[in-house]
Structure 1
Amino acid sequence: MSHSLHVNRSQSHLKWSKAIKPVLTVDSGAIVTFDALEASNGQVTKSTSADDILKFDIDLADPVYGPVFVNGAEPGDALEVEILDLKPADWGWTAVMPNFGLLADEFKKPHIKIWELPADKPYATFKEGIRIPLRPFLGEMGVAPEADGEFSTIPPLNTGGNIDCRHLTVGSKLFLPVKTPGALFSCGDGHGAQGDGEVCGSAIETSMHATLRLTVRKNHDWVASPHYFEAPLAPIPGFEDRGAYAALGINSDLLEATRDALRGVINYLTANKGLTRVEAYMLASVAVDLKLAEVVDMPNFGVAATLPLNIFDDQ
């Protein structure tokens, strides 16, 4: 049964704008449910092939659902978004798309993986011997920007949007700076799992039924960009910490250091786990965390691409 305060799949938009009329008005503290289609906006199905990816229309991607007007929200406040429950669909997808991703210049051909996301298992299988623990989250959560006009839902903004923060799982709270009366909150872009960085350009993309509590926090002008409280993660049986393998990228250009780190972990996976380069690239997108290891010893930066070893049956 849907919650009485509900935003459905037909109530979507593809731009952030304070001019979009709200589909729902609620009081502070209200619990709202959202049914969000996956990030392709229905372009990817269980039968989608790699060749179909060449027809992908980026202008239709990353729909968000809403907006919701929250009574009492005014500029200078923050909107607290508490993630109460997230239910992904029974399938998802990860794709390499031409001209998109951290190593787009090296991975020019389209590829796609369709995942099964069984409700009775806390993981999805990448291939034999490699399992990814499922920790669902919404990649898109945001409020309307202050400026006039329309803004794409693809790049993140100071008001939120496509922040793709995998730490916003059930029990976490996101704080967004209110820039227009009512905040005008929308969300979407469900993920079953992702590494910090989403390096190939997609996570495990999946439709999502989300239950969120929206609360106005008055006089929070110090929240000038998305802030969040990360809830403790419940352990998943079979995925106890077994350490990690990491590759460091060292470069005077932070972006190139990041790319070097990713190349290093891809090389590890192809040399030691029997994966093709594109398999390693997609696996990195859903499982590898990018971390700033060193930023003060100029002129070089150190970036780590960290691969958890508990995803392998045989580490």
Structure 2
Amino acid sequence: MKHHILPVSPSTVNWGYFSKVVAPALTLKSGDRATIETLTHHANDDHERMIEGDPGAESVFKWTREHKAIPRRGAGPTEGPFKLGSGEGVGVHLLTGPVAIEGAEPGDVLEVRILDVRPRPSCSACHAGRCFGSNVAASWGFHYHDLIEEPKPREVVTIFELDTSGEPFARAVYNYVWTPQTDPDGIVHSTIDYPGVKVDHSLIRKRENILQNVKVPARLHFGTMGLAPSESDYVSSIPPSYTGGNIDDWRIGKGARIYYPVAVDGAFFSVGDPHAAQGDSELGGTAIETSLTGDFEFILHKKNDLGGTILEGLTHPLLETDSQWSVYGFTFPNYLVELGVNAQTEVANHSSLDKAMRDAFRKLRRFLMTVHHLSEDEAISLLSVAADFGVTQVVDANWGVHGSIRKNVFVGR
């Protein structure tokens, strides 16, 4: 076993997409471990607290009229004309990787073990050693067209500080309503429509003393983690799919194991969208978006060895913790195939929790019948009396429902 280190830099981070054609940032063998740094794409909501003085973050977010460290931001064309900024496309998350796994082939399953997760401290002289994150009630949030207070509509950014001195928790520091921001190329962003735009704090009004007497329990996890799909060279980081991606389940944190079906040679694992805390549904559009570093272990399960294991017949992400297994249902199990050539722009127009619930039911039924050898009638009975279904997220274009079954249900197995 070898232990690798993968820091963030413009050469180790892709902005807004999974890809099977970019050069791997790291190649390792099954059984190897890696410490991987990740950055939140919302760090520029408060540059002073989350970027200033941090060499890695500064290198990734560097953007002047003369130089843009990462011009491609999304799974779109590299040639213009552009309306929102150079390299615009669908996809927003900073993803570290890809990590190639030697010997991985389509049909295999990659197991990713999250051994540890820790926050990235601020390097700012004023805030050194403290940890911060941003929560955005955004235009893509479930709430956006159902507001009751003025002004309507509005996008609101809330900055949180993460306290890790004991049992970690987050407290709100201040919030502000998004006001039009002009990027270094002179483009005005009246809404939060392009990742990495630096907020000029002279143009906003901070509202302090908010969420008084509220402590949010921390749930450090990675919102977006998965493998490269085979269907397209560049795939948006926003909708989750059969190889994982933007699942946004707070349970994908320390101690979890998640299994992904391999779709391309090398698997091409990427991770990002780090979160300090999130509730089921991620209703407003984001979690507390922060920067995290994780320790991972990678185990490759070859397709010929899957029979008789919990991975037999697996065609979708499967989460395992000490206490339960979880599957993920989506509006479209594989939207890239189901929606055709315009899938990446069309998927958000068809989001449905009904379809996601149906998909989660079918996946957990298959798991009980294949892995635990139940009849269909036995499986359906158990699904009603012992399985838990919840809304994973309603903001990622391909909406999600997770279905979980506790391990202690299976006595003596």
Residue in structure 1 matched with residue 292 of structure 2 by the alignment: 208
Which one of 291, 307, 310 corresponds to residue 390 of structure 2?
291
CA, structure 1 residues 37+254, in 2 after alignment: closer, same or farther (shift >3 Å)? closer
CA, structure 1 residues 130+232, in 2 after alignment: closer, same or farther (shift >3 Å)? farther
Residue in structure 1 matched with residue 144 of structure 2 by the alignment: 104
Which one of 109, 112, 117 corresponds to residue 78 of structure 1?
109
One-letter code aligned to 1:106: D
CA distance in 1, matches of 2:290, 2:91: 16
One-letter code aligned to 1:227: L
Unmatched 5+ residue regions in structure 1? 49-54, 234-252, 259-288, 293-302, 304-315
Which one of 163, 175, 180 corresponds to residue 118 of structure 1?
163
Which one of 220, 228, 234 corresponds to residue 136 of structure 1?
220
- Equivalent pairs counted in the alignment come to 232
One-letter code aligned to 1:150: Y
Worse-superposed segment, 3-12 or 140-149: 3-12
> Deviation at 1:39?
3.0
One-letter code aligned to 2:170: A
CA, structure 1 residues 68+80, in 2 after alignment: closer, same or farther (shift >3 Å)? same
Q: Which runs of 4+ in 1 moved over 6 A?
A: 55-58
> Is 1:24 equivalent to 2:23 in the alignment?
no
CA distance in 2, matches of 1:60, 1:163: 14
Answer whether contact 1:46 1:114 (CA < 8 A) is retained: no
> Deviation at 1:58?
8.3
> Deviation at 1:45?
1.7
CA distance in 1, matches of 2:47, 2:322: 32
Task: Please list the CA deviations of residues 288-308 of structure 1 after superposition, one character each: whole Å capped at 9, or x if unmatched.
Answer: x9937xxxxxxxxxx9xxxxx
Equivalence map 1:141-152=2 (5 Å)? 141-152=225-236
CA distance in 2, matches of 1:58, 1:45: 24
Equivalence map 1:212-251=2 (5 Å)? 212-219=296-303, 220=306, 222-232=313-323
Answer whether contact 2:90 2:238 (CA < 8 A) is retained: no
SS at match of 1:130: coil
CA distance in 2, matches of 1:254, 1:78: 27
Residue in structure 2 matched with residue 269 of structure 1 by the alignment: none
CA distance in 2, matches of 1:44, 1:29: 38
Q: Which has the larger radius of gyration?
A: 2
Task: Please list the CA deviations of residues 209-260 of structure 1 after superposition, one character each: whole Å capped at 9, or x if unmatched.
Answer: 1111011012246221111102359xxxxxxxxxxxxxxxxxxx857xx9xx
Answer whether contact 2:109 2:259 (CA < 8 A) is retained: yes
CA, structure 1 residues 150+59, in 2 after alignment: closer, same or farther (shift >3 Å)? closer
CA distance in 2, matches of 1:58, 1:24: 25
CA, structure 1 residues 232+133, in 2 after alignment: closer, same or farther (shift >3 Å)? farther
Which one of 232, 241, 255 corresponds to residue 171 of structure 1?
255
CA, structure 1 residues 78+216, in 2 after alignment: closer, same or farther (shift >3 Å)? same
Task: Please list the CA deviations of residues 155-183 of structure 1 after superposition, one character each: whole Å capped at 9, or x if unmatched.
Answer: 11211111111111211100000011110
CA distance in 2, matches of 1:158, 1:93: 28
Normalised to the residue count of structure 2, the TM-score between the two structures is 0.52
Where is the strand percentage greater, Structure 1 or Structure 2? 1
Task: Please list the CA deviations of residues 136-194 of structure 1 after superposition, one character each: whole Å capped at 9, or x if unmatched.
Answer: 00011111111133110111121111111111121110000001111010101111111
One-letter code aligned to 1:224: T
Residue in structure 1 matched with residue 4 of structure 2 by the alignment: 5
Answer whether contact 2:3 2:32 (CA < 8 A) is retained: no
CA distance in 2, matches of 1:224, 1:12: 27
